[in-house]
Structure formats: C-alpha cells, structure tokens
Amino acid sequence: MNSLPPEIVVVGGSAGSVSVIIQLLEQLPQDFPFALVLVIHRQKSVPSEMDKVLGFSSNIEVIEPNDKDFVRANRIYLAPQNYHLLIEQDRTFSLDYSEAIYYSRPAIDPAFESAADVYGSRAMGILLSGANQDGSQGLAYLVQQGGRAIVQEPQSCEFPAMPLAGLQVVPQAEVAKPAELINRLFSL
Amino acid sequence: MNDGIDILPHEIDEIIQVIREQYGYDFIDYSRASFTRRVKHCMQRAGLKTMYELRYHLINEASFFAWFLQTLTVNVTEMFRDPVFYRQLRETVIPRLASYPIIKIWHAGCATGEEVYSMAILLKEAGLLDRTRIYATDINPANLEKARKGIIPLNAMKEYTANYTRSGGTEDFSSYYEAHPDHVVIRPELLQKVVFSQHNLVTDQMFNEFQLICCRNVLIYFNKNLQNRVLRLLYDSLVPLGYLALGMKESLLFMDIQAEFESINESSKIFRRKH
C-alpha cells in the first residue's frame, strides 16, 4: 500500500451512486488536501443541474470544469455532461466528445486511466453502485500504475453490477460501505 | 479501453513524427491524453497489439493511414447539439446577421455535418438562407463525403427532433428531410448554399472573412499552444463584430486572444470580436 496520501481521488458512479456521493460530500471536511473528481453517468442531452444538487450537500462548490482548467487540490470537480473527462500531464483537464462508452459520456474508465497516467501512486479510484461494467478496466489500470482502488461493498449497492465487475478485475481492491468511505479517503 | 495496449510517451512522439513526415498531418500539439486514447482506440479496432505493428502499417500502407485518420479524429456530432446554444443563436445572433447583404458562416471542424444542417434550418426559418454562404470544413475527407450526402440514420431522429424543439423550433421538423425505411435524407435545397471542403486548422491558412464562425468541440483536442494559434486564425477570419461560437465547455480564459473578444452569452460560449 502507498505511504503517501492521494493527490487526486476519482469517484465513478452510475445508477444508485448519487445518494452515496451526497453522503460522502456531507462528511467531507473543508480542508481536504486532494482534488476530488466525480464521474457520474448521466442521461444524455437532458438538462442537468447535478452540480447544484451536489453542491448543496457540500460546504465546497462543485465545479464542472472547462477544457484546460487546472486541476487543483481542495476542489470538487464534476465531469460535465456529454464529455469524457481526461487529465493532461500538466495537470489540466481535457474534455473529449468521442463515442459514449457503455452508453455513457462521461464514462468512468477514461477518467481513471488518465488520472493514473498523470498521478501514478498518488491516484485513488473509487467505484460505486451502477448497473454496467464501466470503470473496472480503468480501475485495473490505475492499480497497475500504483494507485489505490476502493470499491463500494456490493451488498450496500442499489445496483451491484459495477462494483462486482470491478472486484472481478481488481480482486485486491479495498471494499467499503458508504459510511466507511470518508475514513478511507484519509487513511494511509 | 485498456485491453493490454500500453503506449509510452516517446512511442506516441514517434508515431506523430511518422505521420508528419509521410502524410503531412501534424498532431504534435494535440491534447496528449485524448490523442493517446484515440490511438489506442484505433489499435483496438485494427487488432494491433504493439506500437511496432502500428508503425509498420502506417509506414507501409497508405490505405491504412486513410482508415487510421478517419478513426483517429472524433466524428461524433448531432443535430441541434446543445439546444440551449441553438436557442441563443436563434434569438441573439441570427437577427444581427440579417443586416448583412450576404451572410458568410464558417463551420470549422464540421465532422459529418449535422450542425451545418441545423444552421441551415435556422437560417431558413429566419428567411436568410437564400443570401447565406456556409463554408463547412473538416480535416477528414470521409466526413465531408458523408456530410454532403445529408444522410442520417433513422434511429437518431427522435433525439434530433427533441433537440430541435428545445432549441425553440416550432415548424414540423419532418418537413426538413425525406424519410426512408432506415435513414432520412436532409432536403437538398437546405444544402444548396453549403460548400463542404477540406481544411486543416493546424496547417492551413485563413481563406475568407465571416460574420459567424462555429468551431464547437474542436479546440478541446488541441493543447493550449495550438488552441492559441487556431484562435488567432479564427479571429483573423472574422469581420469586426463577427461572432465566434465554441463548445459548451470551451473557454477563452487562458487564451492570448481573450481580450480581443467580448462574451455575448457566457453559458452558451458565444463570443464577439471587438474591433
């Protein structure tokens, strides 16, 4: 296991994940030392105010980054609707309008992968409830690059398919119930 | 996307160099994270496992390169993509364009043309299509060939119709196309004023002056250096007080040229050249 705290935490979730994320944000202290990136499957082209919904649960504003915005610690970022979210070596966001993955854009796999490419062992990936297999390949890659993987305990999920797929590919991932996630973020 | 294909940074540089030397396309200033992803995507589609194989095919087969280019560039688009943007265009920009005797519009990076069709519909509804010239350009010749034909798969139409309505459209959307069993064809009269032609924003120069340039979700594939260069080209291609439309998450915030533009609509990313 890594001995240094994460610089970036990427949380991927689909069906059944929003309530877990809200719980996490409500418990998040004001001075957390990493960039928190939320990648949530959302219905395409339907106007979404997810940033406001999530921001309401947090003391900190939830930002939908523009292309080439800097990734900063102590910020909460939400992958914008209809774009995949990637991170460049100079620690800026790149957005990408390419094909949906598992019918989703944003998809979780590319976000995990590019966070792993940039942050290596200082990246953490968290995979939450969902009804498909997005995220598991990316989580495997993140672990391969030295990062840390946490998967929501399948029994605690409204839709366990996504965490189960994650655990199948990354059996060594830590398993956590929603209430435990906050402590995992700060435990080494 | 992973599937065992790992690419090292210097390998990507080598591929970029091969393409530049042999085919004249320059991807050096493309945003590296998405470019690398696209290369992996191509390798997966082609069943290639190593960069060595990729290099071999690129060097030895021009037809492979043609396929590679087509697959590499992102060709995803839709009609009335981001209806809020089209509503702004309808309400704010199009009425201003009406004051010009001839209206010239450039769709830079038009992909398969769906946004060009949408623009033609807006202009027709405003009674301006007859005195408009639309230049629709893309780096990818296969895209342009598709765009000229005006063919859209039938299964996309439900969403496009909803987009159209949300953009403020009140006509019968089906009057703009001819329906076939599995696809529709945009009515040719809508495309009479459109010229589709190849243009590479990275290497080609300005070729006209426009009152409106739409370059939506193209700059996201470039790094800041290239974004700056292309934005200069777009600026130079606009008449004073001409409009520039970017994608919903594209910003001029870090760009050299930012001060030369004013924001017309912050959320829809519509800007206007100041002088």
ipTM for this model: 0.91
Judged by CB atoms closer than 8 Å, whether chains meet at B37 and A110 is answered as yes
Cα–Cα distance measured from residue B216 to residue B245, given in angstroms and rounded to the nearest whole number: 7
A73 pLDDT more than 60 = yes
**Which residue in chain B has the smallest CA separation from A145?**
B6
Contact A89 B32 (CB under 8 A): yes
Number of structural domains in chain A: 1
| pLDDT grade for A55, boundaries at 50, 70 and 90 | confident
Instruction: Give the residue on B whose Cα is nearest the Cα of A66.
Output: B249
Which CATH number belongs to the domain containing residue A28 in this structure?
Answer: 3.40.50.180
Give pLDDT, residue B6: 79
Catalytically annotated residues of A = 14, 41, 134
Does residue A65 fall inside a structural domain? yes
Mutation target vs B (from A10, A46, A68; most B CBs, 10 A cutoff): A68
pLDDT value, residue A54: 87
Instruction: Give the DSSP H/E element, type plus range, for residue A148.
Output: strand A148-152
**Domains of chain B, start order:** 9-72 (no CATH), 83-273 (3.40.50.150)
Is the CB of A97 less than 8 angstroms away from the CB of B254?
Answer: no
Domain assignment of residue A85, yes or no: yes
pLDDT over threshold 80, residue A32: yes
Q: Is the pLDDT of residue A113 over 60?
A: yes
Q: Which residues does A110 contact at the CB level (< 8 Å), separation at least 6? A: A84, A85, A86, A96, A101, A138, B1, B37
- Classify residue A45: in a domain, yes or no: yes
Q: Flag whether residue B248 sits within 8 Å of chain A, measured between CB atoms.
A: yes
pLDDT at B250: 96
The candidate with the shortest Cα–Cα distance to B219, out of A77, A92, A68, is A68
Q: Is residue A4 one of the residues assigned to a domain?
A: no
Listed range (A21-30, A38-47, B97-106) with the worst mean pLDDT: A38-47
Residue environment code for B261-273, b if the CB has 16+ CB neighbours within 10 A, otherwise e:
beebbeebbbbbb
Domain assignment present for residue A2? The answer is no
Rounded percentage of chain A residues whose pLDDT exceeds 70: 96
**Residue A105 within a domain:** yes
Q: How far apart are CA A163 and CA A13, in angstroms?
A: 9
In B113-245, alpha helices (H): 114-125, 141-149, 157-166, 224-236
Asked if residue A100 belongs to a domain, the reply is yes
Average pLDDT of the segment spanning A111-131: 97
In this predicted structure, what is the pLDDT of residue A16? 94
CB contact under 8 A, A64 and B253: no
In a domain, A3, yes or no: no
10-residue mean pLDDT series, chain B (275 residues): 72 94 95 94 93 94 93 92 96 96 98 97 97 97 95 95 96 97 96 96 93 97 96 97 97 93 95 95
Note the pLDDT tens digit of each residue in B131-175. 999 999 999 999 999 999 999 999 999 999 999 999 999 999 999
Question: Helix, strand, or coil here: B109?
Answer: coil
A170: domain range? 9-187
pLDDT at A42: 80
List b or e across A119-151, with b for residues whose CB sees 16 or more CB atoms inside 10 angstroms.
bebbbbbbbbbbbbbbbbbbbbbbbebebbbbb
pLDDT computed for residue B1 by the predictor: 47
A86-103 confidence digits (pLDDT tens): 999 999 999 999 999 999
Q: Are A157 and A188 in contact (CB under 8 A)?
A: no
Query: Is the preceding omega at residue A106 within 30 degrees of 0, hence cis?
Result: yes
Interface of A with B in 19-58 (CB under 8 A): 45, 47
Interface test mutation site (partner B, options A96, A101, A108, max chain B beta carbons within 10 A):
A96
DSSP 8-state code for residue B185: E
pLDDT of amino acid A47: 62
